[in-house]
Amino acid sequence: MRTAYTSGQIRAAEAALMATVPEGTLMQRAATGLAVICARMLGAVYGSRVVLLVGGGDNGGDALYAGARLASRGARVDAIIAGSRVHAGGLKALRRAGGRASEFHDDAAARELIGAARLVVDGLVGIGGTGPLREPYATLARLASDAPCEVVAVDVPSGVDASSGRVDGAAVVADATVTFGAWKTGLLVDPGARHAGRAELVGIGLGPHLPDPDASALTDDDVASLLPVPGAASDKYRRGVVGIAAGSERYTGAAVLAVGGAIRAGAGMVRYVGVAEPVAQVRARWPETVITTLAPGEGIEEAGRVQAWVLGPGLGTDEDALAIARSVLASDVPVLVDADGLTLVAEDRTLLRRTAPVLITPHAGELSRLLDVPRERIEARGLEHVRRAAAELGVTVLLKGSTTLVAEEGRPVRVNPTGSPWLATGGTGDVLAGLTGTLLAAGLGGYDAASCAAYLHGIAGRRGPLSAGDVVDAVPGAMRAIMDRPQDDG
């Protein structure tokens, strides 16, 4: 599992480690790792032109020491000093190795140096930076982002909040980020993750001093260890019976896709409840489904026993839909609430007051209605609001978006690393709901079910162009790819 930390947590761990090692040890470890990765990016170091963008903090020192190592191998290294302060030891090392340094004076000179470089190293602002970049940092960040060569960020791209991934103004868009000691939460969460490019971790010995993580991201091995696998004594009931209350006369496809996601994820049985038109569509597409046709105003009481319910995809928001929602949420099993179900509970949040677990799967617009917060604020500060929703509503939350987040009060937010922009098409959320419902019915808690489902959904949607139906068909292959892979014994 990849664990991530806030800047405050990292700084406390660094302070504890620095108390046990000679002064400057951590910076030298970081600079060595940074130089190795820069050399790999350059290919041939000798004769390569490298530009360092250097701020006054420790990451500016990291960049200078790494630049000195590259200069000693024959690279032509120029440092642009952005502020009034500079790490004296790093600057001395760079000049001793043959590198050059000059203060930033105007855009034209900096643009000329950057335009001729094969690699730009962003050492402007480190993990302590918050809020918009000031000048000349903002100008240099824009010049770096427009550079015709590769850009590597030191620890975190300048302008990205290391603890949250927020970007409040100009920020470096890097091809790679070399981060030290441990992952920073802001490197996993958009928009910070998009600015970071491919991220690489350089160990500096922080491990024993790190606290419980702020966030985490599952790996293939984590998901494989969590997924339920049928045993010799399994039958359809032991594998999990999932109920799906979805679809309406207007939105028949949502029912078909949610049921498909559940079946293709390996549900022992799917019980579908709905009105006549989606019932006909589900019966035609998924004949293995056990179906109950609902009359207007009728609930799910006659549907039979299930281990979990999926409520909401394409359900509508009229009185008949509300009657279904009330009956599902009155049950004593876990319930996943999605789409129209979220609209209904946003109008009456008392529906979420139940003893059995609830998992909600909103996008930013749906969460904005639940929390009465503008959608734009949720999109800009997803971590903050997914945590708030979990605490305020007393539920597990899977917040869909460019970075999918899973939150449950008292646990690190899980960041899904497999998301794909190909999934930004109608109906894929219905598939995710059915897939997640199957994992809930099989016995996973909401936190694990949501995390594993998002992970598998991302893998299923990696190859586009695709439709939601293509994602349904790709779910078994995604699960096999995870479950059949050799396990890491280390």
Q: Which residues are annotated as a binding site for AMP?
A: 400-404, 429
405 closest CA partner among 433, 447, 365? 447
| Residue bearing tokens 């679809």 | 247
pLDDT, residue 215, reads 98
Question: Could you tell me where the DSSP H helices lie in 116-251?
Answer: 137-145, 192-196, 220-226, 236-239
Residue whose structure tokens are 């350059």: 42
448 by Cβ neighbours in 10 Å (0-12 / 13-18 / 19+) ranks as buried
pLDDT of residue 130: 86
Q: Do the Cβ atoms of 453 and 428 come closer than 8 Å? A: no
What pLDDT shows up at residue 490?
43
Judge contact between 55 and 157, C-beta under 8 A.
no
CB-based contact 413:214 (threshold 8 Å): yes
Sequence-distant (6+) residues with CB within 8 A of 13 are: 5, 181, 182, 206, 209, 210, 211
Which residue numbers belong to the known binding site for K(+)? 59, 122, 158
How would you label 191-216 residue by residue, b for 16+ Cβ within 10 Å and e otherwise? bbbbbbbebbbbebebeebbeebbbb
| Ordered mean pLDDT values, 10 residues apiece, the chain (490 residues) | 97 96 96 98 97 95 98 98 94 98 93 97 93 96 96 98 95 98 97 96 97 97 93 75 97 97 97 97 97 95 96 97 97 98 97 96 97 94 96 98 96 96 95 98 97 98 93 96 72
> For the purposes of burial, counting CB atoms within 10 Å of the CB of 124, is it exposed (0-12), middle (13-18) or buried (19 or more)?
buried
Query: Minimal CA–CA distance to 336: which of 412, 436, 248, 249?
Result: 436
Question: What gap in Å lies between CA 39 and CA 159, rounded to an integer?
Answer: 25
Q: Binding site for (6S)-NADPHX: residue ranges?
A: 58-62, 126-132, 137, 155, 254, 314, 363, 430
Of 253, 331, 261, 333, nearest to 274 (Cα)?
253
Beta strands per DSSP E along 317-395:
335-337, 358-360
pLDDT of residue 248: 96
Binding-site residues from annotation: 58-62, 122, 126-132, 137, 155, 158, 254, 314, 363, 400-404, 429-430
How, if at all, do strands 215-217 and 2-5 pair? antiparallel
User: Which pLDDT belongs to residue 487?
Assistant: 59
Predicted pLDDT of residue 488? 55
Please give the backbone phi and psi of residue 301, each rounded to the nearest 5 degrees, phi first: -60, -30
Handedness of CA 344, 348, 351, 353 (dihedral sign): positive
- For residue 177, list its beta bridge partners: 153, 199
Decide: 47 and 74 in contact? Cβ < 8 Å: yes
**Distance between CA atoms of 299 and 93, rounded to whole angstroms?**
75
In this structure, are residues 274 and 242 in contact, taking their beta carbons and an 8 Å threshold?
A: no
**Residues 6+ positions from 172 with CB-CB distance below 8 Å:** 122, 124, 141, 144, 145, 151, 153, 157, 158, 159, 160, 195
Q: Beta 290-293 vs 215-217: how paired, if at all?
A: unpaired
How many other CB atoms are there within 10 angstroms of residue 260's CB atom?
A: 26
Residue carrying structure tokens 């480690």: 17
The domains of the chain, with CATH numbers, are 2-213 (3.40.50.10260), 220-483 (3.40.1190.20)
Location of structure tokens 């279904």: 324
C-beta pairs of 217-220 under 8 Å, 24+ apart in sequence: 217/1, 217/2, 217/4, 217/188, 217/414, 217/415, 217/416, 217/417, 218/1, 218/2, 218/414, 218/416, 218/417, 218/451, 218/452, 218/455, 219/1, 219/2, 220/482, 220/485
Can you give the pLDDT at residue 231? 77
